[in-house]
């Protein structure tokens, strides 16, 4: 399997992959493919952090990390949001999602980013080091259970003195 940066020629395939991956997902609005289209055009987009997994010439997985801030009063701490990660239903449970997440973390760290936030399955992300955001006093601007709001220190200790509200790109609310 090859994991590489997404290129514009991949956009239509990634669109179809997202539709298929989230089709039966209970906690999805089934619009992730449109969110990704908006994020690619937004200031939050970092091309190196839009990543595909390719197997035998076919794109089977996708992950996107985009820039966010964690805001407390006037102070903004730059961070990243993981959204979405998706693997084709025919290729799930084979470790591809996990490899994409680890690859994206390493790439983000190499670019100098220090942390990642995610809104997702409370049983999945802790495997990759994510911890409850509430342990850090970090809040999300969505009405969701606290257990689904998680954060990861890419650099140990980087969130030690960071608390506040996650400020997503406006692309998340369009």
Ligand X SMILES: CC(C)(COP(=O)(O)OP(=O)(O)OC[C@H]1O[C@@H](n2cnc3c(N)ncnc32)[C@H](O)[C@@H]1OP(=O)(O)O)[C@@H](O)C(=O)NCCC(=O)NCCS
Q: Are strands 138-139 and 164-167 parallel, antiparallel or unpaired?
A: parallel
Does residue 86 touch ligand X according to CB under 6 A? yes
Q: Are strands 131-132 and 115-119 parallel, antiparallel or unpaired?
A: unpaired
* Total binding residues toward ligand X, as defined by CB under 6 A: 17
The helix (H) or strand (E) run that includes residue 138 is strand 138-139
Region of 1-9, 93-101, 129-137, 150-158 interacting with ligand X (CB under 6 A): 93-101
Residues of span 24-53 touching ligand X by CB under 6 A: 25
Residue of the chain from 52, 64, 81, 87 that contacts ligand X (CB under 6 A): 87
Residue of the chain from 14, 21, 150, 152 that contacts ligand X (CB under 6 A): 21
Q: Which is nearer to ligand X, 93 or 173 (CB)?
A: 93
**In whole angstroms, how close is the CB of 141 to ligand X at the nearest point?**
17
User: Contacts for 104-109 with beta carbons within 8 Å, 24 or more apart?
Assistant: 104/49, 104/51, 104/63, 104/65, 105/152, 105/154, 107/48, 107/49, 107/51, 108/49, 108/65, 108/80, 108/154, 109/154, 109/155
**In whole angstroms, how close is the CB of 87 to ligand X at the nearest point?**
4
Does residue 121 touch ligand X according to CB under 6 A? yes
Q: Which is nearer to ligand X, 100 or 162 (CB)?
A: 100
Residue of the chain from 78, 95, 126, 137 that contacts ligand X (CB under 6 A): 95
């Amino acid at each position: 399997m090859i994991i590489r940066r997404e290129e514009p020629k991949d956009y239509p395939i990634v669109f179809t992959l997202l539709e298929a991956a989230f089709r039966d997902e209970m906690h999805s609005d089934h619009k992730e493919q449109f969110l990704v289209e908006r994020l690619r055009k937004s200031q939050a987009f970092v091309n190196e952090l839009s990543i595909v997994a390719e197997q035998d010439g076919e794109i089977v997985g996708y992950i996107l990390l985009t820039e966010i801030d964690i805001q407390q009063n006037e102070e903004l701490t730059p961070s990243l949001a993981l959204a979405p990660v998706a693997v084709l239903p025919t290729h799930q449970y084979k470790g591809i999602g996990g490899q994409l997440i680890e690859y994206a973390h390493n790439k983000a760290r190499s670019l100098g980013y220090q942390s990642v936030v995610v809104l997702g399955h409370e049983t999945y992300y802790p495997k990759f080091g994510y911890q409850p955001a509430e342990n850090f006093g970090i809040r999300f601007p969505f009405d969701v259970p606290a257990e689904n709001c998680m954060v990861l220190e890419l650099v140990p200790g980087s969130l030690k003195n960071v608390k506040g509200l996650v400020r997503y790109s406006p692309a998340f609310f369009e």
